[in-house]
């Protein structure tokens, strides 16, 4: 669905990607993680055709995104971190924007709006940032595009909205869609994504499915000093130490995305060795 080959990109003197390759398939929610300034948003913009690769190829749904052909644009939707919505009521958004997306489903949109508890009586510009973002997320999901790109979608959402967001996104995925969520708020996506891709210094540092991660790694709290010493990653917590160890017993543990992220950034080789074995 999305193939990126040997992507080189930079802003003037600052190089962001120097040969990044990545392949994303339909039916998955990808979590794109990384520090600030590592190129998460830039990668999404390259996928959407808002930025053009300096070298290498980006292929999305069989199109070259940079050509911005209408057939491509009507099958991809992006929820940027900073976005603009026109100063019109929600009904206008449906009436004048939705016709550009052939798979738009108005019932679905209304359901999301109700679920997110968005007032319909006001225009979009008079809504709070969080409300506007929820309208955009609802609209993006209701467009039923094959590719949905989201850049820091949970920024500005309150606790209840984050939970609604996870529910709505999980319900909006099907085998024909590919959802890519870029974020540094890893906790918000923990239960949502099924593949973790971590970018650092313009390259893919880690790229594994959640199934694979939980099959090979164990996330738990340990009081055993030997286990803590031998852990792939450890972090003191109020109750013992939070550790990541090899999952040798075949136990199922819940992935702690924040812990995994820190482990990969700080002790990437040890973690990678588990997957390379």
Q: Provide the binding-site residues for other proteins, judged by CB under 8 A.
A: 45, 48-52, 68-71, 73-74, 76-78, 80, 82-88, 92, 95-97, 99-101
Q: How far is CA 120 from the centre of its chain?
A: 28
Identify the CA nearest to 258 among candidates 207, 219, 205: 219
Cβ 276 to other proteins shortest distance, Å: 37
Q: How far apart are CA 97 and CA 103, in angstroms?
A: 12
Minimum CB–partner distance for residue 38 and other proteins (Å): 19
Is the Cβ of residue 135 or residue 264 nearer to other proteins in the bound state? 135
Nearest residue (CB) to other proteins, 177 versus 234: 177
Q: Please report the sign of the dihedral spanned by the C-alpha atoms of residue 6, residue 10, residue 38, residue 130.
A: negative
Cα–Cα separations (whole angstroms), residue 38 to 44, 103, 149, 197, 260: 12, 34, 17, 12, 18
Cβ distance to other proteins smaller for residue 127 or 270? 127
Cα four-point dihedral sign 136, 148, 155, 83: negative
Comparison of 147 and 263: residue with beta carbon closer to other proteins: 147
Nearer to other proteins, 68 or 254 (CB): 68
Query: What are all long-range contacts of 45-50, with beta carbons under 8 Å and residues at least 24 apart?
Result: 46/4, 46/7, 46/9, 47/2, 47/4, 47/76, 47/147, 47/149, 47/180, 48/76, 48/78, 48/149, 49/73, 50/78
Least spacing, CB of residue 149 vs other proteins, in Å: 10
CB of 244 vs other proteins, minimal distance in Å: 37
Nearest approach in angstroms of CB 89 to other proteins is 11
Smallest gap from Cβ 179 to other proteins, in A, equals: 16
Cβ-in-10-Å burial (0-12, 13-18, 19+) of 139 comes to buried
205 three-class SS: strand
| Cβ closest to other proteins, residue 88 vs residue 127 | 88
Q: Residue 128 CB, nearest distance to other proteins (Å)? A: 16
- Report the residue number, 92 or 275, with the smaller CB distance to other proteins: 92
């Amino acid at each position: 669905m999305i193939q990126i080959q040997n992507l080189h990109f930079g802003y003037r003197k600052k190089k962001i990607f120097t040969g990044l390759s990545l392949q994303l398939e339909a039916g998955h929610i990808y979590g794109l993680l990384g520090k600030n300034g590592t190129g998460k948003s830039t990668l999404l913009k390259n996928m959407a055709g808002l930025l053009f690769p300096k070298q290498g190829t980006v292929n999305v749904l069989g199109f070259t995104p940079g050509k911005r052909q209408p057939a491509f644009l009507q099958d991809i939707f992006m929820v940027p971190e900073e976005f603009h919505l026109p100063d019109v009521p929600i009904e206008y958004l449906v009436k004048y924007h939705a016709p550009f997306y052939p798979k738009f489903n108005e019932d679905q949109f209304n359901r999301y709006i109700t679920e997110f508890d968005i007032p319909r009586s006001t225009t979009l510009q008079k809504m709070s940032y969080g409300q506007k973002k929820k309208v955009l997320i609802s609209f993006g999901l209701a467009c039923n595009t094959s590719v949905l790109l989201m850049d820091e979608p949970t920024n500005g959402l309150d606790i209840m909205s984050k939970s609604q967001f996870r529910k709505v996104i999980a319900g909006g995925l099907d085998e024909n869609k590919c959802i890519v969520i870029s974020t540094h708020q890893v906790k918000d996506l923990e239960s949502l994504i099924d593949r973790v891709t971590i970018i650092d210094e313009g390259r893919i540092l880690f790229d594994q499915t959640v199934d694979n991660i939980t099959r090979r790694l164990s996330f738990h709290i340990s009081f055993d000093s030997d286990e803590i010493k031998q852990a792939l990653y450890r972090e003191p917590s109020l109750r013992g130490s939070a550790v990541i160890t090899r999952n040798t017993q075949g136990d199922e543990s819940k992935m702690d995305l924040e812990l995994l992220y820190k482990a990969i950034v700080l002790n990437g080789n040890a973690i990678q060795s588990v997957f390379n074995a």
